[in-house]
A and B are shown apart, each in its own frame.
Chain A
């Protein structure tokens, strides 16, 4: 069974600085998707960024980028120019290409200090 591990329960960063959230996963599959979801206090699960395992290029969405290391099974999220609105729980998630189930990590609570 696939597992996703987020080893940082909490992180904090100064506003305008850069922060990196870590995620590792375990799978025997070669084709899959990886996601980062943001959950603010409103509880809404918001997709931040997505990576297809077959793509070597790291995904980027504005201030958000990932470092995907397939051999190491590592998928970290970098947030540049942190803003107060980035404060939230961040979840890393895995989905096999042929599966429908999302497997989530335990989450990292990100605090932005003004």
Chain B
């Protein structure tokens, strides 16, 4: 299996621009998670889906952030408008009926 796939690996954008991060979970996995990693806050869960349905979005920092999962093999995390404080590494992870979560390689976002 290819593992969790994220794109792009790096994204540099200017403040105010829309940013879209993409994730393809491992085939057959029914949970999908978005985490953010920053120096100040460490790794924190933003939102997770079960069978394509958002279950808990309490970690989403504000309305500028939105996430969708239109089908079992694809999810997006969108930031609009982006701000410098959104600069971080964003991880997607997936799991299937077990405690282990499989992480993607992450997207390093830099907002200038």
Mark A residues whose CB is within 8 Å of B: 33, 35, 42-45, 47, 50, 52, 91, 95, 97, 100-102, 104-107
The residue on B at minimum CB distance from A43 is B106
Q: Are A91 and B43 in touch, CB under 8 angstroms? A: yes
CB contacts (< 8 Å) of B108 on chain A: these are: 43
Dominant SS among interface residues on chain A: loop
CB contacts (< 8 Å) of B106 on chain A: these are: 43-45
If A100-B56, A101-B48 touch, whether A45 touches B42 (CB-CB below 8 Å) is no
CB contacts (< 8 Å) of B105 on chain A: these are: 42-44
The residue on B at minimum CB distance from A106 is B42
With the chains together, A88 CA to B99 CA distance in Å?
Answer: 23
CB contacts (< 8 Å) of A101 on chain B: these are: 45, 48, 56
Q: Kindly identify, within residues 50 to 92 of chain B, every residue whose CB is under 8 Å from any CB belonging to chain A.
A: 50, 55-56, 89, 91
CB contacts (< 8 Å) of A104 on chain B: these are: 42-44
Q: A45-B91, A95-B99 are in contact. List 14 more A-B contacts (CB 8 A).
A: A42-B105, A43-B89, A44-B105, A45-B93, A47-B100, A50-B99, A50-B100, A52-B99, A100-B31, A100-B56, A101-B48, A102-B35, A104-B43, A105-B42
The residue on B at minimum CB distance from A104 is B43
Which of A45, A47, A91, A105 is packed against the most chain B CB atoms within 10 Å? A45
CB contacts (< 8 Å) of B95 on chain A: these are: 100
The 13 sampled A-B contact pairs (Cβ below 8 Å) are: A43-B89, A44-B103, A44-B105, A44-B106, A45-B103, A50-B99, A91-B43, A100-B31, A100-B33, A101-B45, A101-B48, A102-B45, A104-B43
CB contacts (< 8 Å) of A42 on chain B: these are: 105
